[in-house]
């Protein structure tokens, strides 16, 4: 296997889906979704995938990458799509691996949406739920299987899935999969796949482990790199409050109330802290749920649905649980604790400022977290604005952009109003892919920039996973 340094040709961002060569059934599904034009990753990836090339995609959730790989794969399957009841007529030809249950469920939902005018079958496979319905779905035949590695291996051991006809493999969020210790599982899965296939690898970052995997897996891949979608600089504003740890909770509650937040994602590092904080602010009268890897799949799905529907105001999450969450128009992200890896800050704030709506990322920073703030500022190449000069009563100030909720119970101000209110505040440049913190700050020309690469993380995996468990205990998903 070898790689070449091919770059995807720059497609004009205004190219239509039809110009990308997609078939009418897919164009109809896209129109049903209301998408008017391809996102940058779609414009770049779809033609390359249709040419049967392998892809190494530097893109995170929120860029539209799911449609970017799903649409061309559906197009490949379309000629054999059929309504036969025989499982033999529905061999598994596409395998999509994701790190988390949430992402698997979301990807499968997308596959169904984009494939709704084609008689193709999809099965989703992840742990933490009853295996029997999955066995049934696999037994009936499914051209597309979306899976987390642990549960897929269970099915392989039980011989309830047949991967001998797979022609297309997608590894989604490869960096997170490797972070979660899935490498051995992925290797075992690769070993049972037919060697001749098209491989698509997507990752937000490219640490050495991901590069090694890419080298093994991909044949002459085309590299595609895009910045997160719909998050141009002016759409996410940042604010830092310097707050001693014991006063954070009061500050959080004051912010939620004072700013009349109706939908806020609150980040902590450890799952036990997520539980505790959720309980505490629930007691303070704010409808809150925690979402992390120890909760059952049903509980996580329910919490997310309650949040999306506006029944829950605050969702307290660990980094790992929030990765891949697709929450449209999330107005606020609060970092109750800063992440220890600065790129996780970027992932966290990537949850807001999406779908063209402005968002705000607020961080409560205790004195002992200053070094993490400095790391983040180094990565973003700018100092984040401070609010309140250390006072913890800032939340009570006049709410910016205070207007009634108008979307799924979330509190959004009209874009113009919020943008005007935000103009005084510099924001992170989302139009650029993020990079490792340089030794000395200074812009690198985007053309010559290598794929984002981060040195192996030194922090313990348990912290990353938001808990005290070992890799093994978190691995099966
Ligand atoms: P993803 O990065 O795949 O998680 O997609 C993020 C969000 O973008 C999803 O909610 C999609 O429904 C939406 N989306 C994907 N492609 C487009 C498009 N071309 N235009 C508008 N929205 C899109």
- Highest average pLDDT, of 3-12, 52-61, 339-348, 381-390, comes from 52-61
Nearest to 350 by CA among 314, 326, 373: 326
Say how far apart CA 357 and CA 234 lie, in whole Å: 10
Compute the average pLDDT of residues 3-15. 49
- Give helix then strand counts, H and E, for the chain: 18, 14
**What values do phi and psi take at 106, rounded to 5?**
-70, -40
Predicted local distance difference test score (pLDDT) of residue 59: 82
* Nearest atom, ligand 1, residue 39 CA: 19
**Which of 132-136, 213-217, 330-334, 433-437 is the least confident region?**
433-437
**Which of the four pLDDT bands, split at 50, 70 and 90, describes residue 76?**
very high
Q: How far is the CA of 172 from the centre of ligand 1 (A)?
A: 15
If you average pLDDT over residues 464-468, what whole number do you get? 25
Residue nearest to atom 14 of ligand 1 (CA): 64
- Average pLDDT of the segment spanning 174-191: 92
For residue 106, the ligand 1 atom closest to its alpha carbon is: 4
Angle at 10 between CA 9 and CA 14, to 5 degrees: 135
Q: How far apart are CA 285 and CA 254, in angstroms?
A: 11
* Of residues 314, 288, 96, 122, the one with CA closest to residue 201: 96
Q: What is the mean pLDDT of residues 53-59?
A: 93
- Residue whose Cα lies nearest atom 15 of ligand 1: it is 64
Q: Which of 39, 42, 354 has most ligand 1 atoms within 8 Å of its beta carbon, as the pocket-test mutant? A: 39
Higher pLDDT, 446 or 253: 253
Choice from 26, 67, 107 to test ligand 1 binding pocket (greatest atom count within 8 A of CB):
67
Distance 326 CA to ligand 1 centre (A): 9
Q: What is the mean pLDDT of residues 145-149?
A: 98
Ligand 1 center from residue 324 Cα (angstroms): 12
**Minimal-distance CA residue to ligand 1 atom 19:** 38
Q: Give residue 388's pLDDT.
A: 65
How much is the pLDDT for 449? 34
Q: Which protein residues touch ligand 1 with a CB less than 6 Å away?
A: 35, 38-39, 42, 61-67, 326
- Quote the pLDDT of residue 88: 97
Q: 355 alpha carbon to ligand 1 midpoint, in Å?
A: 8
Beta pairing class for 94-97 and 222-225:
unpaired
Q: What is the position in ligand 1's atom list of the atom closest to the CA of 17?
A: 19
- Protein residue closest via CA to atom 5 of ligand 1: 64
Supply the mean pLDDT for the chain: 78
Q: Would the pLDDT of 31 be above 90?
A: yes
pLDDT for 331 equals 86
Write down the pLDDT at residue 343: 81
Averaged pLDDT, 358-381: 91
For the CA of 33, the nearest atom of ligand 1 = 12
For 154-180, write each residue's pLDDT tens digit. Answer: 999 999 999 999 999 999 999 889 878
- Alpha helices in 59-182, H assignment, sequence order: 65-77, 101-114, 132-140, 149-157, 174-179
Least confidently predicted of 3-12, 99-108, 192-201, 297-306:
3-12
Q: Whose CA is nearest to atom 1 of ligand 1?
A: 64
Pairing of strands 288-291, 314-317: parallel
pLDDT digits (tens, 9 = 90+) for 411-437: 333 333 333 333 223 333 333 333 333
- Expressed in angstroms and rounded, the spacing between residue 62 Cα and the centre of ligand 1 is 6
**Average pLDDT rounded to a whole number, residues 118-141:** 96
Instruction: Please report the pLDDT score of residue 452 as a whole number.
Output: 38
Which residue matches tokens 């910016």? 400
Q: 0.75 cut: is pTM over it?
A: no
Residue 228 has pLDDT above 80, yes or no: no
């Amino acid at each position: 296997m070898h790689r070449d340094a091919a770059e995807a040709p720059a497609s004009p961002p205004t190219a239509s889906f039809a110009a990308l060569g997609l078939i009418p059934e897919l164009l109809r599904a896209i129109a049903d979704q209301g998408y008017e034009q391809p996102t940058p990753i779609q414009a770049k990836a779809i033609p390359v995938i249709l040419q049967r090339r392998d892809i190494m995609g530097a893109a995170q959730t929120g860029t539209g990458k799911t449609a970017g790989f799903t649409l061309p794969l559906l197009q490949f399957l379309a000629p054999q799509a059929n309504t036969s009841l025989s499982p033999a007529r529905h061999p598994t030809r596409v395998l999509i691996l994701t790190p988390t249950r949430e992402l698997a469920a979301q990807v499968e939902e997308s596959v169904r949406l984009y494939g709704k005018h084609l008689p193709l079958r999809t099965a989703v496979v992840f742990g933490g739920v009853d295996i029997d319905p999955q066995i049934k779905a696999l037994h009936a035949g499914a051209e597309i299987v979306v899976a987390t590695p642990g549960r897929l291996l269970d099915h392989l051991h039980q011989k309830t899935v047949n991967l001998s006809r797979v022609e297309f493999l997608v590894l989604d969020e490869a960096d997170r999969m490797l972070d979660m210790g899935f490498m051995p599982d992925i290797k075992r899965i690769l070993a049972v796949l037919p060697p001749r296939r098209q491989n698509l690898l997507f990752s937000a970052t490219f640490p050495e482990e991901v590069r090694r995997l890419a080298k093994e897996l991909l044949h002459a891949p085309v590299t595609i790199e895009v910045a997160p979608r719909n998050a141009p600089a002016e759409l996410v504003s940042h604010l830092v409050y310097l707050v001693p740890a014991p006063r954070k909770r009061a500050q959080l509650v004051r912010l939620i109330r004072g700013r009349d937040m109706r939908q806020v994602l609150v980040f902590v590092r450890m799952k036990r802290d997520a539980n505790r904080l959720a309980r505490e602010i629930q007691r303070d009268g704010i409808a809150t749920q925690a979402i992390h890897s120890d909760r059952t799949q049903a509980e996580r799905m329910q919490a997310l649905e309650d949040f999306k529907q506006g029944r829950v105001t605050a969702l307290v999450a660990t980094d790992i649980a929030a990765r891949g969450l697709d929450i449209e128009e999330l107005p606020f992200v609060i970092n109750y604790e800063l992440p220890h890896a600065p790129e996780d800050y970027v992932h966290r704030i990537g949850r807001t400022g999406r779908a063209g709506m402005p968002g705000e990322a607020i961080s409560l920073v205790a004195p002992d977290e200053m070094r993490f703030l400095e790391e983040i500022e180094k990565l973003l190449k700018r100092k984040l604005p401070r609010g309140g000069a250390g006072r913890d009563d800032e939340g009570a100030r006049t709410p910016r952009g205070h207007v009634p909720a108008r979307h799924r119970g979330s509190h959004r101000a009209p874009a113009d109003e919020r943008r005007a209110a935000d103009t005084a505040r510099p924001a992170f440049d989302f139009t650029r892919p993020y990079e490792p913190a340089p030794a000395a700050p200074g812009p690198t020309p985007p053309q010559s920039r290598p794929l984002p690469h981060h040195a192996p993380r030194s922090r313990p995996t348990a912290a990353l996973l938001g808990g005290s468990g070992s890799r093994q205990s978190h691995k099966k998903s």
